Amino acid sequence: MAAEWSVLLLTCQRGGCVSAFQRELEARRLRGGLGPRPPALLLAVEDPWARLGSGGATLNALLVAAEHLSARAGCTVVTSDVLREARILILHMGRDFSFDDCGRAFTCLPVEEPGAPAEALVCNLDSLLGTMTHRLCVGSPPGVWVCSTDMLLTVPSAPGIDWDGFQGVRVIAVPGSQAYARNHGVYLADEQGLVRDIIYKGTEAQIQQCAGPDGTVPLVCGVVFFSSDAAEQLLATHVIPPLDACTYMGLDSGAPPIQLSLFFDIVLCMAGGMTKEDFVKGGGDASVRSARSVLWTALRAFPLSMACIPNASYDYMTTSASDHIRSLTLLPGSASHLRFCKTAHSHVDQPCLLEDGSSVTNCLLEGAVRLAAGSVIQHCHLQGPLEIGPGCLLSGLTTGSSLALQGCPLRDIVLQGHHIQLRDLLCRVFTLTGRLDDWQSPAEEATYLNMPWAEFFHRTGIREGDLWDAETPRRSRCLLSARLFPVLHACEALGLEDVLWLLDPVAAAGERLARWRAAWRMSWQELLPCLDKAAELAARRALFFLQGQHKVRRVLLGCQDSSLLPLARSAVHEGYHEAVLGMLDEVASTAGDAGIAARALACIADVLGCMARGEGGLRSGPAANREWASAFRRLESGDIAGGVWELAAERQKWMSSAALLVRAARHYEGAEQILLRQAVMSSCQFVTVGQAELPPLGHWVQVACPARLDLSGGWSDTPPITYEHGGAVVDVAVLVDGCRPIGARVRRIGEPELRLVSLGGTPQSEVAVELVCRELEHLRDYCQPHAPGALLKAAFICTQIVQFPSQKPLRAQLMESFGGGFEVHTWSKLPHGSGLGTSSILAGAVMASLYRAAGKAASTESLIHAVLHLEQRLTTGGGWQDQVGGLVPGIKIGRSKAQLPLRVEVEKIPVPNGFTQTLNNHLLLVYTGKTRLARNLLQDVVRNWYARLPSAVQNADALVSNAEECAQALRQGNLPLIGKCLDRYWQQKKCMAPGCEPLAVGRMMEALRPYVYGQCLAGAGGGGFLYVLTKGPRQKEALHQILAKTEGLGNFSIHSIEVDTGGFAVEVMGCDPKDGAHPREDVAV
């Protein structure tokens, strides 16, 4: 579950670059970071005054939300009625932050979210949004949530807040130690959870009074909820002076500014222990006291309750560098939905140089960059050799800074690069401080670069007069106001070395001091209003996609199972798609590996699909436009680099609309299929063909094959999964209703032509389709699966009975080699889309009979690989499990390793004596009456695998492990365990190809569930046959009665099946196909 927001508002300080923050919110909406149903209104709101306070910012944000909701409701004035059913979330950015130019909200955390729809940096804002939306606010009534962003907040997945009968206002607390509470706020609540008082930096006795039985105290964590009634009353105060001054309307009306706290000026008035006199007197000046009086009148009647969340944690983001570094290098509590990692969204050439306990986020570290434990690098592009000692925070440094850093003693320092805007001048400024320095303590009591100021002055030659004006009071002379940081120089460009010399002044001598004095310098206090937050966010974005390009190369060339689709989505949302496409082109053209190039082309198709933004039609579709033909020919000829660059040139012509982008994506998938076919056809080297006696002219060679049941592991045999991940499939060769349902026969004929005949369901059936090929041109459509006779045409080419293409005519080829032509008959008793492996097994039968009729012989292993080759030439793709199932007798497991060339190895599974008959007694086949219509199932599976969707990768692992477990269950003769494997296998199929379970099939399986150990749709699913492993033997009639009573099933039928332990056979027969006088020949030699 998730809270669904009507409005989400982010408040920021005046002059705080509200447009940049609005862009950040919109980016989160685009990439799915705001949930499946993002807020209708997404607003970054600038405080009307520079020092408005959290209370004033809340009132102003509430007014803005009500005004927008009123406008959407068609009102011409603000009406509080719109708050009745609204769910509003207000997030306050608060004050500036010493360690992140974009504030605490946009401080990046060392987190990656592989399951996120789009890849992005994870900021504290994102963490809090996740906590509020998916945990804390779930189940709350309509109203207004207000949340500070100045803390790291961790909440369990089920916080356990009771909202039944809730009224008024509720504050959220987290348990903390009494020691921590000395510098923070705590709630004093009664046994009913009603707040009596809010104590800030209280005495030991006051804090002890707030403690619970376990000694912890409820810390104020910056989160409060106003019911709709309370929010309406709070909104009503915006027109009453002096509270009108808190809003932009007050600013526009000329009201004098006022500063209010959310907790101590608004929430506190509802605390049960407060009297009006104490509350109003507690205000600072007269305007605040007047505001408090108004608030007391408006809100006092509402009960203020507290929810203290067990196992939650709260960590205020202080101005202490030590605290900040610690928060980024320690793992968050077990209740967190985030998992910190050492390296997040970064490319590191030598990750072994990063010590445990260090943290790198959004960085590109090239060469040897050594990072000690307890140090953090963020938003940096650095080139080694560099050595960064413990206790450091580096941020915002570019490659140009690397030379200055080499050999520099970096230990316990904070080094940051900043984007500064001075009117129309944009520049870079570097600041350097010590980890132990305090910003606001007077210089006499404080340190700079972790040493007393007096020692710093002595070591560097800098004087107090260089840093502070003479009239600056001594208590105000602190690090915050010290003009330490060079900004501009009259003659020279400034760089990182202009602050780094402060670490080693002896080596720099007087030259650096003079240059430093000659520069115009600013204090951190003066720099803060000049920080260009938009430029900083843009620089982080650019660096993120630069390291993202390195990730593309690393993942593809390293054959890693990481998905690049989330990065592609982000690149499209943020306008960096061209850079990603360029890197994919480069990898595809230079990899020197058809498998890697194919995946790169599939990733390009994904980027183009993302650019279409869900418009332009289905991703699956035709890919034979003649504009792409030249590039395709290059790929087919083996010129991968030339083909890739020709594809890229053609791509530029297809970028102007969603429809063209989708069509371009289809052609990239077509190009990827060319390379995939080349990779799979490496299996040809495992096809060996020997010589055999040429049967007499007119004598039939006949092959009859069983069907196959896939008991587990299917889809793991599908290219490219089978050679990139490795596959394992348990198959059983089966007779259906006592016979082998699939077959072919071939004979040589005197006419130099190819007669291709499709019979009905049996060898004795009438001719259904007949096709005669007399010229090579008649074979040209062999690679179009739906063309008449395509499979048989491909079989003649793959067995090399016919050379195609060739300068020699077909008639001449046939007469020279065979003294005539061939006639082929094929049949299958199984319906189309049965899921029992018909087409692949038929291809095996055709090739076996063709080889033999042409005076050749091929082993079963050769036929398995020959069918793989044929199906790639035919362009239907597909794996190897069908032919293994139908060509190898009995029960077996086929395996392929994660490597090329692709080789399938088959192991027969020995079962206990009598178990084969037991299996026959318990297995039944149910025809569902549904024909599989999902022609694009295979294309979808391949697309998801190339994208390395986490679900697809995990499912591939599970398919293989389940196959091995099923094989072991068969060895044991354990029917219940086999049934569990079947059920698990069906779930895995549904995960791999969603939508493969029609509603009627679901009803059928539900009706049968009490009577079976396990059940599964055969093959890819979507229709065809369901096979069931019954608890009792010989249950055909019983199951028929059960299904007959089940509504909505349509025309089903139940068939007996039995394990075929004999396997297929090649028979050379007489001229009459019914003449069985000639002996049978076993093909498996």
Distance between CA atoms of residues 924 and 107, nearest Å: 61
DSSP for 62-120, please give it: HHHHHHHHHHHTT-SS--GGGGSS-EEEEEE--S-BTTBTT-STTPBPSB--TTSSS--
Kindly list the distances between the CA atom of residue 791 and the CA atoms of 462, 466, 746, 869, 974, in Å, as whole numbers in the listed order: 87, 87, 14, 12, 40
Q: What residues contact 166, with CB distance under 8 A and at least 6 apart? A: 140, 141, 227, 305
For residue 422, pLDDT beyond 60: yes
Please give the average per-residue pLDDT across 701-722, as a whole number: 96
Kindly list the distances between the CA atom of residue 1015 and the CA atoms of 76, 140, 987, in Å, as whole numbers in the listed order: 62, 43, 10
Q: Give the burial class of 1015: count Cβ atoms within 10 A of its Cβ; 0-12 exposed, 13-18 middle, 19 or more buried.
A: buried
Residues in the chain: 1085
Distance between CA atoms of residues 371 and 967, nearest Å: 49
pLDDT tens, residue by residue, 621-671: 889 999 999 999 999 999 999 999 999 999 999 999 999 999 999 999 999
Q: Output the pLDDT for position 119.
A: 95
Q: Output the pLDDT for position 331.
A: 67
The structure tokens 């395709």 sit at: 632
Please give the average per-residue pLDDT across 974-992, as a whole number: 96
Reported as a pLDDT band with limits 50, 70 and 90, residue 33 is confident
- Token readout for 394 is 């580096």
Which stretch of 15-24, 704-713, 818-827 has the lowest confidence by average pLDDT? Answer: 15-24
Reported as a pLDDT band with limits 50, 70 and 90, residue 16 is low
Kindly list the distances between the CA atom of residue 729 and the CA atoms of 119, 891, 905, 1014, in Å, as whole numbers in the listed order: 34, 11, 11, 17
- Token readout for 980 is 């569990």
Q: How many CB atoms lie within 10 A of CB 726?
A: 17
Which stretch of 384-398, 659-673, 1038-1052 has the lowest confidence by average pLDDT? Answer: 1038-1052
Q: Report H helices in 201-332.
A: 204-209, 228-236, 248-253, 276-281, 286-299, 321-329
Distance between CA atoms of residues 804 and 507, nearest Å: 78
Q: Are 746 and 700 in contact (CB under 8 A)?
A: yes
Distance between CA atoms of residues 888 and 880, nearest Å: 12
Reported as a pLDDT band with limits 50, 70 and 90, residue 1 is confident
Q: Give the burial class of 250: count Cβ atoms within 10 A of its Cβ; 0-12 exposed, 13-18 middle, 19 or more buried.
A: buried
- Token readout for 808 is 């020699």
Reported as a pLDDT band with limits 50, 70 and 90, residue 1085 is very low
Q: Output the pLDDT for position 49.
A: 84
Q: Are 1081 and 1069 in contact (CB under 8 A)?
A: no
Nearest Cα to 796, choosing from 762, 766, 755, 835?
A: 755
Nearest Cα to 1012, choosing from 920, 923, 911?
A: 923
Distance between CA atoms of residues 494 and 401, nearest Å: 11
Phi, psi (rounded to 5 degrees) for 371: -130, 125
Reported as a pLDDT band with limits 50, 70 and 90, residue 743 is very high
Q: Report H helices in 888-974.
A: 915-922, 937-946, 950-972
pLDDT tens, residue by residue, 343-386: 999 999 999 999 999 999 999 999 999 999 999 999 999 999 99
Q: Output the pLDDT for position 391.
A: 97
Average pLDDT, the chain: 93
Q: Give the burial class of 145: count Cβ atoms within 10 A of its Cβ; 0-12 exposed, 13-18 middle, 19 or more buried.
A: buried
Reported as a pLDDT band with limits 50, 70 and 90, residue 1076 is very low
Q: What residues contact 1037, with CB distance under 8 A and at least 6 apart? A: none
Its pTM stands at 0.89
Reported as a pLDDT band with limits 50, 70 and 90, residue 1078 is very low
Residue 632, SS3? Answer: helix
Q: Output the pLDDT for position 507.
A: 62
pLDDT tens, residue by residue, 276-289: 999 999 877 889 99
Distance between CA atoms of residues 820 and 797, nearest Å: 16
- With pLDDT > 90 as the criterion, what percentage of the chain qualifies? 82
pLDDT tens, residue by residue, 928-957: 988 765 456 788 899 999 999 999 999 999
Q: Output the pLDDT for position 278.
A: 92
Q: Give the burial class of 1072: count Cβ atoms within 10 A of its Cβ; 0-12 exposed, 13-18 middle, 19 or more buried.
A: exposed
Phi, psi (rounded to 5 degrees) for 1078: -80, 145
CA triple 930-936-938, angle to 5 deg: 100
pLDDT tens, residue by residue, 788-808: 999 999 999 999 999 999 999
The structure tokens 């060739």 sit at: 806
CA triple 723-729-731, angle to 5 deg: 140
For residue 1075, pLDDT beyond 60: no
DSSP bridge partners of 174: 219
Q: Output the pLDDT for position 94.
A: 86
Q: What residues contact 916, with CB distance under 8 A and at least 6 apart? A: 890, 891, 1059, 1061
Q: Are 156 and 334 in contact (CB under 8 A)?
A: no
Q: Are 450 and 560 in contact (CB under 8 A)?
A: no
Q: Are 701 and 746 in contact (CB under 8 A)?
A: yes
* Residue type at 716 in one-letter notation: S
Residue 474, SS3? Answer: helix
Residue 370, SS3? Answer: strand
The structure tokens 């041109």 sit at: 777
Q: Output the pLDDT for position 1042.
A: 94
- Cα-only R_g, the chain: 37
Distance between CA atoms of residues 480 and 454, nearest Å: 17
DSSP bridge partners of 474: none
Tell how far CA 343 is from the center of its chain.
17
Q: Are 412 and 435 in contact (CB under 8 A)?
A: yes
* Residue type at 651 in one-letter notation: R
Distance between CA atoms of residues 250 and 252, nearest Å: 5
Reported as a pLDDT band with limits 50, 70 and 90, residue 1077 is very low
Which stretch of 215-224, 426-435, 934-943, 1061-1070 has the lowest confidence by average pLDDT? Answer: 934-943
Q: Are 399 and 382 in contact (CB under 8 A)?
A: yes
Q: What residues contact 177, with CB distance under 8 A and at least 6 apart? A: 215, 216, 217
Please give the average per-residue pLDDT across 465-490, as a whole number: 95
CA triple 8-10-12, angle to 5 deg: 165
Distance between CA atoms of residues 961 and 838, nearest Å: 26
pLDDT tens, residue by residue, 158-178: 999 999 999 999 999 999 999
Q: Are 518 and 489 in contact (CB under 8 A)?
A: yes
For residue 1008, pLDDT beyond 70: yes
- Token readout for 507 is 């080596």
Q: Is residue 514 within a helix (H) or strand (E), and if so which, with residue range?
A: helix 505-518
Q: Output the pLDDT for position 1074.
A: 55
